[in-house]
Amino acid sequence: MLAPRLCWGCDGPARRGQSLCLRCLASLHRLTGEPARLRGLRVWAPVGYSGAARDLVRALKFRGARGVADTMAAQIAAGAPAELLDGPTLVPVPLHPSRRRARGYNQAALIAAALARRTGLELADPLVRSGAATAQVGRHRAARRAGPAGAIAARGRAPARVLLVDDVVTTGATLAECSAALVRAGALETAAVTFARTLGR
């Protein structure tokens, strides 16, 4: 109980309530303010997927560090273009049921919930994933570009304006599939925010 909180980036001491020390926080590769256009979808992320940002994502996905979701949401809320946060409903990218059972949670849903608390935006969870449970990690780039493993669909009618939420975007294929499912279910406008974006995208 008396030991200092450790930084997920360097294992050094971090301030109370923080997931990164000041040095690792300052080392994050900040991206420009404008959303990228991936697969026809506007996607915005505050940082590049490298260094301490990659360490945070891995801690959330593979080490059970649920608390870092709030750090990620804080970075999104602090820098996202105002028009993206102007009244949409937040929708997390779904995780395959078998992967969710193994992990115990959907990391995108944790980030979306933390972002909803920080922004006051509504949160919905209409998307479901079925079929193959292959992880994106380790998939060849061509397979990623072809789309996510398995199928994504929406339950019921989708909100009119949706802001998808995920931890990392690479090719944008998964976000595009989520957007298409929401449009089929009645969404009129979709965009996305993620904590990190693969550099060069």
CATH of the domain at 70: 3.40.50
Q: Is residue 156 part of a domain?
A: yes
* Predicted pLDDT at 33: 81
Q: How many domains does the chain have?
A: 1
- Dihedral in degrees, nearest 10, Cα atoms 135, 140, 146, 152: 0
**Could you report the per-residue pLDDT of 63-99, keeping only the tens digit for each?**
999 999 999 999 999 999 999 999 999 999 999 888 8
Token pair, residue 30, equals 């900040």
Query: pLDDT-derived band of residue 199, with 50, 70 and 90 as boundaries?
Result: confident
Does the residue 7 lie in any domain? no
17 pLDDT tier (thresholds 50, 70, 90): confident
Is residue 20 in some structural domain?
no
Q: Which of 177, 176, 169 is nearest to 31 (CA)?
A: 169
Q: What is the per-residue burial (b if ≥16 Cβ within 10 Å, else e) of 159-178? A: beebbbbbbbbbbbbbbbbb
Residue 200 has pLDDT above 80, yes or no: no
> Does 126 fall in a domain?
yes
Domain span at residue 60?
A: 30-134+141-197
